A and B are shown apart, each in its own frame.
Chain A
Amino acid sequence: MAEKYFGKRQKRTEDPRLIQGLAHYVDDIKLPDTLHAVFLRSIYAHARIKSIDTSEAKKAPRVIAVYTGKDVSAKIGAVPCAAALPELKVPDHRVLATDKTYFVGHPVAVVVAEDRYAARDAADLIQVDYDELPVVMDEEKAAQGGPVVHEQFKTNIAYKLTAGEGDVEAALKSADKVIQQRILHRRLAPIAMEPRGVLARYYPGEQELTLWTSTQIPHLARTQIALMLGMAENKLRLIAPEVGGGFGSKLNVYGEEALLGWIAMQLNRPVKWIETRRENIQATIHGRGQTGYIEIGYKNDGTLTGLRYNVYADMGAYFQLLTPAIPTLTGLMLSGCYKIPAIQINITGVFTNKMATDAYRGAGRPEATYVVERALDLVAAEMGKDPVEVRRKNMPAPHEFPFKTATGLFYDSGNYEGALKKALDMANYTKLRDDQSKARKEGRLVGIGVSTYVEICAIGPSAATPAGGWESATVRIEPTGKVTILTGASPHGQGQETSFAQVAGDELGVNINDVTVIHGDTAIVQYGIGTFGSRGTAVGGTAVYYALQKLKEKANKLAAHMLGVENGPVDFKDGKFSKDGKSVTIQEVALTAYLGKNLPADMEPGLSAIHFFEPKNFTFPFGTHIAVVEIDRETGEVHFQRYVAVDDCGKVINPLLVDGQVQGGIVQSLGQALYEEIVYDEQGQLVSGTLMDYAVPRASHVPWLELDRTETPTDVNPMGVKGVGEAGTIGATPAIVAAVVDALSPFGIRHLDMPIKPETVWRIIGKKGAA
Chain B
Amino acid sequence: MNKINVSVNGVSHQSEVEPRMLLVHYLREALNLTGTHVGCETSLCGACTVLVDGQAVKSCTLFAVQADGSQITTIEGMATDGKLHPVQEGFWEHHGLQCGYCTPGMIMAAAQILARNPDPSDEEIRHGLEGNLCRCTGYQHIVQAVQCAAKKAKKQ
Residue contact B95 to A656, C-beta cutoff 8 Å:
yes
Q: How far is the CB of A607 from chain B (nearest CB, A)?
A: 32
Q: Kindly state whether residue A641 has any CB partner on chain B within 8 Å.
A: no
A195 in the interface (beta carbon within 8 A): yes
Given known A-B contacts A18-B100, A21-B75, A194 and B39 have beta carbons under 8 A apart: yes
Partner of A277, one of B42, B142, B143: B42
Interface residues of A, dominant DSSP? loop
Residue on A nearest B133 in the bound complex, by CB: A696
Answer whether A192 and B95 are a contact pair too, CB < 8 Å, given A19-B103, A245-B101, A699-B126.
Answer: no
Q: How far is the CA of A698 from the CA of B135 in the complex (A)?
A: 9
- A24 on the B face (CB < 8 A): yes
**How far apart sit A704 and B107, CA to CA, in the bound complex (Å)?**
21
> Complex: how many Å from CA A193 to CA B106?
12
State in angstroms the CA–CA spacing of A581 and B88 once bound together.
46
**Cβ-defined contact, A192 with B135, below 8 A:** yes
Interchain CB contact under 8 A, A692 and B136? no
Q: Which interface residue of B40, B95, B132 has the most chain A CB atoms within 10 A? A: B95
Partner of B100 from the list A242, A660, A704, A705 (CB cut-off 8 Å) is A242
Distance in angstroms between the alpha carbons of A30 and B42 in the assembled complex: 24
Give the one of B36, B40, B132 with max A CB within 10 A: B40
Asked if A632 is at the interface (CB within 8 A of a chain B CB), the reply is no
Residues of A within 8 A of B137 (CB): 660, 663-664, 667
Is the Cβ of B138 less than 8 Å from the Cβ of A18?
A: no
Select the residue from A18, A27, A117, A192 with max chain B CB neighbours within 10 A.
Answer: A18
- Whether A690 contacts B44 by the Cβ 8 Å rule is yes
Expressed in whole angstroms, the Cα–Cα distance for A35 and B86 within the complex equals 39
Q: Name the CB-closest residue of B to A660.
A: B95
Q: Is B53 an interface residue (CB 8 A)?
A: no
Asked if A746 lies at the interface with its beta carbon under 8 angstroms from chain B, I say: no
Do the beta carbons of B39 and A494 come within 8 Å of each other? no
Asked whether A20 lies within 8 Å of B100 as measured between CB atoms, the reply is: no
Complex contacts, B91 vs chain A, CB 8 Å:
15, 19
B47 lies within 8 A of chain A by Cβ: yes
Assess A28 versus B130: contact at CB under 8 Å? Given A195-B39, A692-B42: no
- Taking the nearest CB of chain A, how far is it from the CB of B149, in angstroms? 11
Residue pair A696, B135 in contact (C-beta under 8 Å): yes
Residues of chain B in range 29-46 having any CB-CB distance to chain A below 8 Å:
32-42, 44-45
A28 touches B76 (CB 8 A): no
- The interface size bin for chain B is 35 or more
A699 to B135, CA, bound (A): 10
Main secondary structure of the interface of B (DSSP, over half): loop
| Residues from chain B with Cβ under 8 Å of A665 in the complex | 138
Docked Cα-Cα span, A633 to B123, in Å, equals: 22
Give the size category of A's interface with B.
Answer: 35 or more
Q: Report the Cα distance A740→B73, complex, angstroms.
A: 44
Q: Let me know if A492 is at the binding interface, CB within 8 A.
A: yes
Check A704 against B122 for contact (C-beta < 8 Å): yes
Minimum CB–CB distance for A7 against chain B, Å:
15
Give the chain A neighbours of B140 by CB distance below 8 A: 663, 702, 704-705
B79 within 8 A of A: yes
Structural contact, A664 and B136, CB atoms closer than 8 A: yes
Return the contact of B133 from the options A242, A690, A698, A704 (Cβ within 8 A). Answer: A698
Contact A191–B92 (Cβ < 8 Å): no
B16 interface hit (Cβ, 8 Å): no
Q: Inside 8 A of B127's CB, which chain A residues have their CB?
A: 699-700
Is residue B6 contacting chain A, with contact meaning CB distance below 8 A?
A: no
Contact of A624 with B by CB under 8 A: no
- Contact check: which of B95, B99, B142 meets A193 at CB < 8 Å? B99
A30 contacts across to B, CB distance below 8 A: 32, 34
Q: A194-B101, A494-B98, A663-B140 are in contact. Are A247 and B36 (CB under 8 A)?
A: no
- Complex partner residue of B40 from A17, A690, A705, A728, CB under 8 angstroms: A690
Q: In the assembly, what is the distance between CA of A421 and CA of B78, in Å?
A: 46
Asked if A12 CB lies within 8 Å of chain B CBs, one says: yes
Q: How far is the CB of A195 from chain B (nearest CB, A)?
A: 7
What residue of chain A has the Cβ atom nearest to residue B143's Cβ? A699
Could you tell me if B41 and A276 are in contact, using CB atoms closer than 8 angstroms? yes
The 3 closest A-B CB pairs, nearest first, are A21-B35, A244-B101, A493-B99
A sample of 20 cross-chain residue pairs with beta-carbon separation below 8 angstroms, ordered by A number, consists of A20-B78, A25-B37, A191-B135, A193-B39, A193-B45, A193-B101, A193-B136, A242-B99, A244-B99, A245-B98, A247-B135, A274-B38, A493-B98, A663-B141, A664-B138, A668-B135, A698-B129, A699-B126, A699-B127, A699-B130
With A16-B92, A660-B136, A700-B126 given, can you name 16 additional A-B contacts, CB distance below 8 Å?
A19-B92, A19-B100, A20-B75, A24-B34, A192-B99, A244-B100, A245-B101, A277-B39, A657-B95, A660-B137, A667-B137, A668-B135, A691-B44, A692-B42, A702-B138, A728-B138
